[in-house]
Amino acid sequence: MNKPPSKTDKKTDKNPATEEIIPGERLQKVMANAGLGSRRGLDKEIDAGHVSVNGKVAILGAKVNLRDKITYHENDWEVAAQSAPERTLIYNKPLGEITSRSDPQGRPTVFERLPKLENARWIAVGRLDINTTGLMLLTTDGELAHKMMHPSSKIDREYACRIHGEVSDEVMQTLRDGVELDDGPARFSDIQRAGHSGENYWFHVVIMEGRNREVRRLWASQGLEVSRLKRVRYGPVFLPSKLKRGMFTDITLRDHNLLREEVKLTARAHSINLKPIGTHSQAAKAKWQKKPGKKKTQPRAQRRFVSRRFK
């Protein structure tokens, strides 16, 4: 996961995770899932030579893969990925945005920059205050978001901090050992110097929880003020160096599943489906959409249905 996708978008609903390598599936299964008939009926159509794949007559038992072209009754389809039910983004939060969905003061929110979704909603995996920048994970996978934020999962977060004034080794050790804050004990599980410029000193710190303004409060307990704060890592996910502020990038299905495995959840999978190519003629459509005529039947006496109790 250290090598995030190179392509970024500002606002799109395309999901690059669907570019993952997906195992092929049997031709009749894919066609049946697309509503082109029953598997048994499509077996007969394939056996009769009415279906071709990439310009060649298909045979029974053939498998199709992404971007294969299927022709059936003069209509064409492309084999495409059917998105998994969840999607996860890496977002580089700029200064001045809040992580609430709306704000009475009219301040911009991170959700305004994200792609619109149908029948789903973005969930922020952890929050960043208005003055903190950097990595945010946003997902439609509520199960993943809950597990990653829960303290029992022990997912660490790494921040780059700029501190005004010198910091002694004794202060650094105190912050490693832990201090008492208003809401209980807190500590940096790791703290490392990362250079300085004039009176400003940079540090990389790691915490195991996501309490409100915890990093700033830890430094404040030692009489030190954080002048800049940026999250650079959340668990195994690093902020991509090429991802500009205010931009996002999708993570792949493989990386999404790595996150799920990190918190002991089962992996998700993609399947494939058919996407129509061009305009399908009504005459050709009628051949595979034709339904058997209804037989005329004599009126039946009304029956009273009683719900069956399950044992």
- Residues that are catalytic: 129
Q: How many other β-carbons are positioned within 10 Å of the β-carbon of residue 277?
A: 13
Strands 179-181, 248-250: pairing kind: unpaired
Sheet-wide strand order for 56-57: 56-57, 51-53, 69-72, 75-82, 271-277
Q: d(Cα 107, Cα 93) in Å, to the nearest integer?
A: 14
Strands 133-139, 226-234: pairing kind: parallel
H-helix or E-strand containing 75? strand 75-82
Question: C-alpha 19: how far from its chain's center?
Answer: 13
Record the tokens describing residue 226, joined without a space.
């954080």
Q: d(Cα 278, Cα 76) in Å, to the nearest integer?
A: 7
- b or e along 167-201 (b: 16 or more beta carbons within 10 Å of the residue's beta carbon)? beeebbebbeeeeebeeeebbbeebeeeeeeeeeb
Provide the β-strand partners of residue 158: 206, 233
Residue 303 burial by Cβ neighbours in a 10 Å radius (0-12, 13-18, 19+):
exposed
207: Cβ contacts below 8 Å, ≥ 6 apart: 156, 157, 159, 186, 187, 188, 189, 214, 215, 218
Strands 248-250, 200-207: pairing kind: unpaired
Query: Is 94 in contact with 246 (CB distance < 8 Å)?
Result: yes
